[in-house]
């Protein structure tokens, strides 16, 4: 069964705009090039340090394969991952796996 991964990040002070630009121009295109399906990305309207994105997976095996393709790639380990660590507070990252309800338009 398909499921979604909702990832919630908190920015280091004053880094949200830089982070959003990096995600839009580097991270999301890189992950899509590896096969990830990014459903959407969102900035907090009232929380200036909040950024959320959602990715979709057909099954656990696909998630594992895509995680390996992205997070074990030398571009990620050598460049992208370290740059993200400078912009977000990784200790505040929240990852939720969610499944669509029967009437959800996102499936």
- The CATH number covering residue 93 comes to 3.30.70.100
pLDDT at residue 1 is higher than 90: no
Does this model's pTM top 0.85? My answer is yes
Contact 53, 38 (CB under 8 A): yes
The answer to the question of residue 12 being in a domain is: yes
Q: Which residues pair with 9 in a beta bridge?
A: 51
Contact 66, 36 (CB under 8 A): yes
Please state the domain count of the chain. Answer: 1
Share of the chain above pLDDT 70, in %: 100
Supply the mean pLDDT for the chain.
96
The answer to the question of residue 106 being in a domain is: no
What confidence category does residue 34 fall into, taking pLDDT thresholds of 50, 70 and 90?
very high
Q: What number is the average pLDDT over the span 18-33?
A: 98
Q: What is the pLDDT of residue 106?
A: 84
The answer to the question of residue 50 being in a domain is: yes
The answer to the question of residue 61 being in a domain is: yes
Structural domain containing residue 55: 3-98
The answer to the question of residue 14 being in a domain is: yes
What confidence category does residue 24 fall into, taking pLDDT thresholds of 50, 70 and 90?
very high
The answer to the question of residue 7 being in a domain is: yes
The answer to the question of residue 94 being in a domain is: yes
pLDDT at residue 12 is higher than 90: yes
Our measurement of the distance from residue 44's CA atom to the centroid of its chain's CA atoms, rounded to an integer in Å, reads: 15
Q: What is the pLDDT of residue 36?
A: 98
């Amino acid at each position: 069964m398909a499921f979604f991964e909702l990832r919630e990040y908190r920015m280091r002070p004053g880094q949200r705009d830089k982070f959003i630009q990096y995600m839009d121009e580097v991270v999301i295109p890189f992950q899509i090039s590896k096969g990830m399906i990014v459903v959407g990305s969102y900035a907090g309207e009232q929380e200036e340090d909040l950024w959320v994105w959602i990715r979709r997976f057909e099954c656990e095996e696909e998630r594992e394969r895509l995680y390996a393709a992205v997070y074990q790639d030398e571009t990620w380990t050598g460049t992208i991952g370290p740059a993200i660590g400078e912009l977000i507070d990784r200790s505040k990252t929240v990852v939720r796996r969610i499944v669509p309800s029967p009437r959800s338009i996102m499936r």
